[in-house]
Structure 1
Amino acid sequence: MSSLLGVSALLRLPPSVRARAYAAAATPALDPSSTATLPPPWRPANVLDEWVSREARPISLRQLTFFGRTLTEDRLISSANYVRLELPTRIAHRLRNMQTLPYSAVTNQHISHVYELYYNAFERFRKVPEIRSLEDNDRFCDVIKMTLNEHLSVIPRLAMGILEIQGSVSGEECDRFMTTLLRSRISRRVIAEQHLALTETFHSPWHFPNAKKLPSAEDDFVGEIFLKCNAKELIEKCANTARQLCSQAYGPDVAIPEIVVQGHLDTTFPYIPSHLEYILGELIRNSIQAMIEQRGFKQPPPIEVLICEAAQHVIIRISDQGGGIDRQVLPYLWSFAKGPRRNHRLRNLGQVPRLAATMEDIKPLPQEIDRSGGPSGDKFGNSLASLSGRPPDLKLGMGLPMSKIYAEYWAGTLEIHSLEGYGCDAFLQISRLGNRNEVVSTRAAMDAV
C-alpha cells in the first residue's frame, strides 16, 4: 500500500502504520544495487502548509535594476527582507511538488537527496529573523552563500533521479516536474545572487558618497545585471571558449570551424550575462561538435551567427552545416527524461557530482570575475558559463532543455530547426527591454495534501 502513497500522505498516517511502511521501505535499501532509500524523515506538515499558502512575487530585470541603481542602507535591508521571505516561500512550493510524487519515486536515492537539501534550506531560511541592520544582513548573506554551495549537487542528482524513476512516473510528468524545479531554482538563485551582489557593491570603497573612482565596466552593472550586454562580444567570447575546448578534445589535426558574426553588431541590452553565456555556449558547442564529427579532418565551412535587433527583441540565429539532428533524437530534443540514450546519460551524470551549473570538478577554470563581459569564474557558487567547459564526449542530455528554460525565464524563446542531411538553425529570442517578469511557477501542483 505504501508504494502508492505520496510522501505527504505517508507522513499523515498514524505512527504505528507509518512505522510499518518505513520498515517495508527499508528492505530494498539493503541491496547495494538498489536506487531506493528510506523516505525523508517525518516532519510536521502544518509548517510547510503555512508557506505554501503564500504566493511567490515575480520580478523583472527592470525592477531589479531600478531598485539597485540607487543603493542605500534602507534599500539593502529591504532587499534582504524580500529575499528572506521569498526563498522559503518558493522552496516550500517545490517541496510540496515533490511530496505529490509516488512514494516509490521519492524514495529514489537522488530525489530523496534533493528533498533533504530543499527541506534543510527551507528550515534554515524560515527561521531567519527580520533583517534590521547591516550586521543582520551580513549574517544573512553568509547563510545564503553556504546554502548556494550546498546545493551544487542538486542538478545532477535531480537529473539522475528523473532518469531512474521512469518505471513509476511517466516521461511527460518527469519533464514537467524537472522543468518546474529548475525554473524555480533559477528564480531563487537570481534573487539570492542579486542580493549578494548588491551587498558586495554597498560594502565597496567606491560606493561611499564623494568617493573618487575611475570610470569602468563596474558602472554598467547593477548587482548581477549588466546593463550593456553586447551580443557580438558575448557570442565571440563563447565561440572562442568552445573552439579551444574542441581543439583540446579532438586534437590539433582536426579543423575547427570559424564563427562568423553578422547583423546588428552594436546591439546592447540589459541581461544577466551568465544566463546568456550558458545558452550561447551550448548552442555554439553543439554546432562545432556536429560539424567536426560529420567532416572529420576536412576543413568545415564557417558557422554563421546573425544578430537581429528589433524594437522589443533581439534575435540571434546560429546556422551550421553539421548534418542536422539524428532522427531518433529529434522528438526528444527538449526532454530531460525521454530519449534513446538514457544509460549513457546516467553514466556521464555520475561523473558530475556538483553542477551549479558549474564544471570546476572536471575542468579547472579561472576564478576571477571578468566584469567586462560577465562572470568567467565561480561567484557565489554559481558559474553557468563554465558548464560549457566540460569535455565534448561528456554528453549529459540536458544542455538544450536547460538552455530553453533559461531563455524562457525572462520571457524569451529558443527554437531549433533541423534540416536533415544539411545542418541546423537555432533561433534565440531575448526581450531587450527587461520589462517582462520572470516566468516562474508560483503555486505548488497541489496546494494542500
Structure 2
Amino acid sequence: MQTLPFVVVTNPHMSHVYDLYYRAFERLRRVREIKSVEDNEKYCKVISETLQEHLTVIPRLAMGVLECQGLMRPQEIDKFMNTLLRSRISRRVIAEQHLALTETFNAPWHFPNAKAPVDPNAEFVGEVFLRCNAREVVDACWLRAKTLAEEAYGPDCAMPDIIVEGHLDATFPYILTHLQYVIGEILRNSIQAVVERRPTPGDSPSPIEVLICEAPQHVIIRISDHGGGIPKEIMPELWSFSKSSRSQAHLRNLSQVPKMAATMQELRLPNLSSEPLTSIETSKQSPLDSSLSSLTSRPPNLRLGVGLPMSRVYAEYV
C-alpha cells in the first residue's frame, strides 16, 4: 500500500485499511516466541481479535478503489487488488488454521490418557474438509441462494429448478468455505439472470444446469443457465474491481455491507432471516465470523461489483 500514489492512500477507506494492517503488524511483531500452551492461548487471542477487526477490509477496499478510479489506471488498480486479496486470503487461512488446530489440540481425545477415543471419522484437519462432496456443496449453496431470491422477489415469483449431473459422488480435500463462496456467488447470478429474463411474470423460468466432472487432479463444476448471457458493454469490466459504469450504485450497496471476511462470510445483514444450516455447515462451527457464506446471503438486488473478481481469486488460490 505504501507504493500507491499518496492521494490514493489518503482516501478515507484506503487509509482505514492501511491503519488496520499497520496496527496488526505492530501487534504481531511484539508477540514473543511461543514456548508453552499458555503462550499459545495468548497468541490465539491476539489472532482472533485481529481477524475480527479486519472484517471491514474488503468492503472498505472496494469502496476506496471505486472512489480512486480516476487517480490510477484500471490495470494498476486491479493488479493491486488481486495481489492484496491473495495475500490477505493466505494470511487469514494460516491464522484460522492455527486457531482450528489449537482447538483440536485442546479437545479431550487429543491427549493419550483421555477417556474419549480419537474419532476415526473426523472430516476436518483444521479448516480443510477432507471429504468435500461437490454435489452436497452445490445443493447447500442452491438452497441458500434460492431462499434469498424468494425473500427478495416475493412468494409469487416462480424460481428455477436445478439439474445436477455428472460425477455426483466426487469428493476431494478442500477449504469448504472457499468453495461455498464461489459456487454460491455463481448460483446467485444465475438465479437472478433467469428470473429477470422471463418474458412474462407467469412463465416458468428455465432450469439451471450443473455438471460435475472428476479427473485425477481436478474437479470441475460447470454452471449453465438460460439467463441471456452478459451484455457486451459489461464484458470489458467483468473481472475488474474498478468498474466505472456502475461505480456509484456499487458504492451505495457496499455501504450496506459493513463487514466481510476473506475466507467465507461477512456478517449477516440485519434484515435477513436466518435459514437453517446444512449438515455440512453444522459439522464444523467456528466462533469466528470467518466464512464467506453470508456474503452470498445478501439480497440479489444488492449488487457489489466484486463477486466474480473475488470468485476468481478464490478459485485460483492454492
TM-score bracket, shorter-length normalisation: over 0.9
* 3-state SS in 1 of match to 2:39: helix
**Counterpart code for 1:409:** Y
1:398 maps to: 306
Task: Name the structure 2 match of 1:407.
Answer: 315
SS at match of 1:253: coil
| Aligned partner of residue 38 in structure 2, secondary structure | helix
Aligned pair count reads 312
2:4 paired with 1:101? yes
SS at match of 1:316: strand
**Letter in structure 1 aligned against 2:280:** S
Shift of 1:215: 5.0
Question: For 1:173, what is the secondary structure of its paired residue?
Answer: helix
- CA deviations 1:373-407 (Å, max 9, x no partner) are 57787642311112110011110000110000000
Q: Residues of 2 paired with 1:363 and 1:388: CA distance?
A: 14
Give 1:292's aligned residue: 195
Q: Deviations over 1:344-366 (max 9, x none)?
A: 00111111111114141345576
Among residues 43, 46, 61, which one is paired with 1:158 in the alignment? 61
> Cα 1:167–1:407, aligned 2, differ >3 Å: closer, same or farther?
same
Q: 2-side partners of 1:389 and 1:99: how far apart?
A: 34
Change (3 A) 1:365 1:297: same
What is the alpha-carbon distance in structure 1 between the residues aligned to residue 316 and residue 13 of structure 2? 27
Matched residue, 1:346: 251
Whether 2:170 is the aligned partner of 1:267: answer yes
Q: CA RMSD in A?
A: 2.1
Match of 2:23 among 100, 104, 120: 120
Structure 2 portions without partners, runs of 5+: none
What amino acid sits opposite 1:381 in the alignment?
Answer: D
Structure 1 counterpart SS, 2:280? coil
Unpaired runs of at least 5, structure 1: 1-97, 411-449
Q: 1:304 to 1:202 in 2, by over 3 A?
A: same
Matches of 2:151 and 2:60 in 1, distance apart?
28
**TM-score for the superposition, normalised by structure 1:** 0.66
> In 2, distance between residues paired with 1:397 and 1:303?
22
Residue 254 (1) aligns with residue 157 (2): yes
Quick one: distance in 1 between partners of 2:137 and 2:154?
A: 25
* TM-score, length-scaled by structure 2: 0.93
When structure 1 is superposed on structure 2, of 366-375 and 303-312 the one drifting more is: 366-375
Match of 1:324 in 2: 229
Matches within 5 A, 1:6-25: none
SS at match of 1:372: helix
Counterpart of 1:407, as a letter, is A
| Aligned equivalent of 2:139, options 236, 248, 256 | 236
Larger Rg: 1
SS at match of 2:42: helix
Choose the corresponding residue for 1:360, options 230, 247, 268: 268
